[in-house]
Amino acid sequence: SADFFDPDNKRAVQLRERVALETLDELLDYILEQGGSVGILDATNSTLERRKAIMDHIRKRAGPELGVLFLESRCVDPVLLESNMRLKLSGPDYKDQDPVKALEDFKKRVALYEKSYVPLGEYEEQHNMPYVQMIDVGRKVVAHQTNGFLSSQVVYYLLNFNLSPRQIWITRHGESIDNQLGRIGGDSELSENGHRYAKALARFIDDQRKRWEAHQKQKEMSHFPPHPGDSTPPNPAYGPRDRPRNFCVWSSMMVRAIQTTQYFNEDDYDIKQMRMLDELYAGRMEGMTYDEIKEKFPEEYEHRKREKLQYRYPGPGGEGYLDVINRLRAVIIEVERMTDHVLLVGHRSVARVLLAYFLGLDRDQVAGLDVPLGVLYMLEPKPYGVDFKVYRYNPDTDWFDYLPDFKLHQASPLQ
């Protein structure tokens, strides 16, 4: 309950301080003794005394060389504060509790924090302590002495960060002529089946877009505190809320991907092509089947089979998965930054990298993910994770079937 966070509750204060330092020690063990490079201490640290204690403890154990960056998120916008409170009631602290009592307890907890809260700022600047302060979910970002690669990357990420409710859709292009022939790479057109998929995809996204807008309106509660049974409110976000969400459709610059997006209405969708979404280029092996590669380049075939993630196809322009990961970085940052819906129409390697990133998979899993043709993936970022749904095109109904029990798994090592 809120009493646990009362600064006048000496026993609770001592317990929280002990737990905080024990947790910090676990983190320092990971960095100093177990080979870790980056650690995150997720705690309130809202008082100057707590931050001083943390820094003293770190310097005592790790010395002056270990870099420390404080991150603070503040909300001053009343609409955002209300949205945050609603969201908190649906989180793990108050799940399945009476919303009126939970709200009362949470407001009491906030008031107790406010008693001793000291924002990042003057003290940190006087003592050359790097920090980043994000206000109203990115409306304003203050950075102090964020030197070095990692700190600058954190600032870059936070400048592009948002919690705006939106959907990210990922799919491969429709079936191509080369797919029918079992050839990798190339730039062939869609098959007849591929065109059917593309037409159904445009209709299905239209339908899902309308359903999402209707669901968001339903979630907008006019009463506060919420009543028992209310659905989770929209994510806390800073920006306009009075118009339908824009929808982007991005494809690679390859013919089969462009043709997959051609049935979307350009008046309703922002349609673009970008080379960063192109398929992994197979160099000298472009347009060959795996059997042909095995016959003509047996050593390369075995090398790729053993070290698929690190392997790069030989020949001018030949790529590997690490190259695809590198060129998709800009696309990922843009998707993180934008508040629009987006459908990404790419290829097998591209879909693997995108899904691995947004679902937080290990890098070793990237190159082997099974991402067949005819499957559509939906990710909806949430404050407590990502809502992940998968749909498979059904040629009998010319529509998409929802797969509630879908699990990503590894494909054949050849693909």
Judge whether 248 counts as a catalytic residue: no
Q: Is residue 301 part of a domain?
A: yes
Given this model, what pLDDT does residue 282 score? 96
Of the candidates 160, 185, 214, which is a domain's last residue? 160
Give per-residue pLDDT as tens, 240-260.
556 678 999 999 999 999 999
Given this model, what pLDDT does residue 195 score? 98
CB contact set of 60 (below 8 Å; sequence gap of 6+): none
Check whether residue 155 and residue 183 sit in a common domain.
no
| Active-site option among 33, 42, 242, 362 | 42
Given this model, what pLDDT does residue 43 score? 84
Q: Is residue 335 part of a domain?
A: yes
Check whether residue 138 and residue 172 sit in a common domain.
no
Exposure class string for 47-81: b at 16+ Cβ within 10 A, else e: ebebbebbeeebeeeeeeeeeebbbbeebebeebe
Judge whether 303 counts as a catalytic residue: no
Note whether 328 and 354 are within 8 A (CB). yes
Judge whether 195 counts as a catalytic residue: no
Check whether residue 325 and residue 392 sit in a common domain.
yes
Q: Is residue 107 part of a domain?
A: no
Judge whether 114 counts as a catalytic residue: no
Check whether residue 248 and residue 211 sit in a common domain.
yes
Check whether residue 289 and residue 242 sit in a common domain.
yes
Check whether residue 149 and residue 249 sit in a common domain.
no
| Active-site option among 105, 175, 279, 319 | 279
pLDDT tens-digit profile, the chain (415 residues): 556 666 677 787 788 788 888 999 999 999 999 999 999 998 888 888 889 989 999 999 999 989 999 999 888 888 787 777 777 776 777 777 887 888 888 888 888 778 788 999 999 999 999 999 999 888 889 999 998 888 998 898 888 877 788 999 999 999 999 999 999 999 999 999 999 999 999 999 999 999 999 887 776 655 555 555 444 444 555 555 566 789 999 999 999 999 999 999 999 999 999 999 999 999 999 999 999 999 999 999 999 999 999 999 999 999 999 999 999 999 998 998 888 999 999 999 999 999 999 999 998 999 999 999 999 999 998 776 789 999 999 999 999 999 999 999 988 766 6
Check whether residue 277 and residue 140 sit in a common domain.
no
Of the candidates 126, 160, 194, which is a domain's last residue? 160
Alpha-carbon span 106 to 344, nearest angstrom: 40
Looking up residue 46, the CATH number of its domain turns out to be 3.40.50.300
Domain carrying residue 371 = 168-403
| Active-site option among 124, 136, 319, 347 | 347
DSSP 402: E
Q: Is residue 140 part of a domain?
A: yes
Of the candidates 106, 132, 160, which is a domain's last residue? 160
Q: Is residue 97 part of a domain?
A: no
Looking up residue 272, the CATH number of its domain turns out to be 3.40.50.1240
Check whether residue 54 and residue 189 sit in a common domain.
no
> CA torsion 232→236→240→243, rounded to 10°?
-20
pTM: 0.81
DSSP 245: P
Q: Is residue 182 part of a domain?
A: yes
Check whether residue 23 and residue 125 sit in a common domain.
yes
Q: Is residue 104 part of a domain?
A: no
The domain tally of the chain equals 2
Given this model, what pLDDT does residue 230 score? 47
Q: Is residue 413 part of a domain?
A: no
